[in-house]
Amino acid sequence: MQSFRFACQPGCIRCCESPGVVRLAPGDAQRMAHHLGVDLQTFHSSYVMQAADGLFLQPSPSNRCPFLLPSGCAVHEAKPTQCRLYPFWPEIVETRQSWQRTVELCPGIGKGPLIQIAGAVSRAQEMKRAFPKSYEP
């Protein structure tokens, strides 16, 4: 496969509903706080938790992303780096099995403009730059 089509589908929240955590890259919290109209300290105390390997969004009481609404992402325009880059994550695009699982999950794959594989891999590099410790060899 040299290329595939992809366009995130309006109203879809399947990847947001998948189990997992939302990591915050440098700049994510500031951008989201600005979008919500709160100061950074308030944003951190309301939505962020610190772990040994970085900052994460605190899950909601139902163990979901705190910004996931039935209608979609409440911070769509300012969403975290990992959300903006999905499904172009190294752990997805670099193995055939992971990619196949994602094809089954994400209805946006197979629709929209053509994307060259090299372009997808290049976008995945942004994840490695944002989270270098997570992708150390």
Interface positions with ligand SF4 (CB under 6 A) = 8-9, 12-16, 22, 65, 67-68, 73, 75, 79-80, 83, 86-87, 105-108
Query: Residue 12 CB, nearest distance to ligand SF4 (Å)?
Result: 3
Identify which of residues 48 and 106 has a Cβ nearer to ligand SF4 in the complex. Answer: 106
Question: CA 81 from chain center: how many Å?
Answer: 6
Q: Which residues of 55-82 are buried (b: 16+ CB within 10 A; e: fewer)?
A: bbbeeeeeebbbbbeeeebebeebbbbb
C-beta closer to ligand SF4: residue 106 or 120: 106
Contact present, 21 and 57 (Cβ < 8 Å): yes
Q: How far is the CB of 137 from ligand SF4 (least distance, A)?
A: 27
